[in-house]
Amino acid sequence: MQSYDVAEQGLRGLNAALQAQSTETNQTQWQVQNPKGSHAIAVGLDAPIEVTVKGSTGYYCAGMNQQATVRVEGSVGPGVAENMMSGTVIVEGDASQYAGATGHGGLLVIKGNASSRCGISMKGIDIVVHGNIGHMSAFMAQAGTLVVCGDAGDALGDSLYEARLFVRGSVRSLGADCIEKEMRPEHLTLLADLLERAGADAKPEEFKRYGSARQLYNFDVDNAAEY
């Protein structure tokens, strides 16, 4: 176990040490002490290592992650796991705005609540939120899966493309071109796998599925008021 104290050794040194790891490293377990809400902790990782952050972080924690597993024992600021490519990011607390934004792959788990614009422009990432999400979540979501065990705020899935949205609780309102869809057996299978991987105590049958009505793919002047 490698231990690093941000308060004593500085953030720049931490990220340099983590980014220097490769697939052949034997320093696979890292513990980050005293993060004190620092920004951009554990960003740009590209090795199969496990990083545990002992406390809350600021914005862009675990951004651009590849291969690594990052666990935050606290809450995170805006943009956690932004542009993540692969690996796993687990937040034990709450997440601020645009969690998982533009994520291309991997799994983001938020065990508390997520704020507005969760999964904005997601491009293949899987996101599981144990609690609630805020307004404009999955805005322009292109691919991937957003699972919400609680409630969703206004304008869920506004202008989305082919991302899959599953919500167990209530949805305050749906965004433009987002509609409720049939829950088929393949969706239940997908959902069961994600819930298990995320450690969520919920049953697939309790969720509703939402997706694109595919009416905004091409501009139509008769529908201008809907854009």
pLDDT tens digits along 134-186: 999 999 999 999 999 999 999 999 999 999 999 999 999 999 999 999 999 99
Q: How far is CA 77 from CA 8, 67, 202, in A?
A: 22, 22, 26
- DSSP sequence for 67-131: S-EEEESS-B-TTTTTT--SSEEEESS-B-TTTTTT--SSEEEESS-B-TTTTTT-EEEEEEESS
The pTM of this model reads 0.94
Assess whether 56 and 108 both reside in one domain: no
Side-chain half-sphere exposure of 180, counting CA atoms within 13 A: 9
Task: Please write the tens of the pLDDT for every residue from 212-224.
Answer: 998 876 656 676 6
**Is the domain of 59 the same as that of 157?**
no
| Judgement on whether residues 103 and 190 belong to the same structural domain of the protein | yes
Structural domain count of the chain = 2
The verdict on residue 87 lying in a domain is no
pLDDT at position 25, please? 85
Q: Quick one: tokens of 33?
A: 């002490």
pLDDT of residue 80: 98
Specify if 224 maps to a domain.
Answer: no
Which residues of the chain register pLDDT less than 70?
217-221, 223-227
Residue 36 domain flag: yes
- 210 is in which domain, residue-wise? 97-216
CA distances from 104 to 44, 91, 199 (A): 14, 18, 22
Q: What is the pLDDT of residue 23?
A: 86
Render 201-226 in DSSP notation, one character per residue: ---GGG-EEEEE-S-SSS--GGGGGG
